[in-house]
Amino acid sequence: MHLLIATSNPGKFREIREGLAPLGWTLFSLLDYPFKMPPEEGSTFEDNAVLKAAFAAKQSGLPTLADDSGLEVAALGGEPGVYSARYGNKKTDTERNVYLLERLKGVPPSERKARFVAVLVMAYPDGYMELYRGETEGEILEAPRGEWGFGYDPLFYLPEAGKTFAEMTLEEKAAYSHRGKALRQLLEAHKLGLARKEQPLQE
């Protein structure tokens, strides 16, 4: 099976590549298919993941996996949600983390609950789609911890692990993360033959 991973986020790409490794598929990235992705105008992770996967499958003629994900902070009414990648119009992960900490200034530790959500959509060039969703609950710290990962990882603390996502190896993060959970569902569905196994005829 040849599969295009339609993300321009290198952190996501690394995690998806590791997660799919047991399937032995040949993976391509947007570096192999450098078309411009459409704006993410949906109001849910599902809408945006479908939009990205369907568009890239059509453009490339390959089965395509897209990931739409984000952080939902309870004390902020679910912000940044689908706006996680452009929160506060900030350009870098570090600036977005600083902005999130400012928005949470004065909120005590007991009220800093948050969850990460990842929706993975696998779209085939003929329009067939599969959808997988994973969620992980944690807390937003008052200062960043850890050097690994990407995005909001240094602020996302997992009480059961006693670490932030940025203090975990790729393998460890995958065991707990929203993306790891969604990827394991995809793996199961394909291993059990509940999803398509073969590349369908191209248009």
Residues that bind ligand ITT (CB under 6 A): 7-9, 12, 40, 67-71, 84-85, 116, 149-153, 165, 177, 179
> Which residues have CB under 8 Å from 173's CB, separation 6+?
15, 148, 149, 153, 165, 180
To ligand ITT, the closest distance from the beta carbon of 176 in angstroms equals 10
Q: Is 19 a known ligand-binding residue?
A: no
Question: Residue written as tokens 């949470």?
Answer: 104
Min dist. Cβ of residue 153 to ligand ITT (A): 4
Active-site annotation, residues? 68
| E strand or H helix that includes residue 39 | none
Closest distance of CB 196 from ligand ITT, Å: 22
Query: Shortest CA distance to 120 belongs to which of 103, 99, 134, 100?
Result: 134
* Residue of minimal Cβ distance to ligand ITT: 151
Distances (CA, A) of 108 to 2, 12, 102, 111, 139: 48, 30, 13, 6, 11
- In terms of CB distance, is 67 or 139 closer to ligand ITT? 67
Annotated binding site: 7-12, 68-69, 150-153, 173, 178-179
Annotated binding site for Mg(2+): 68
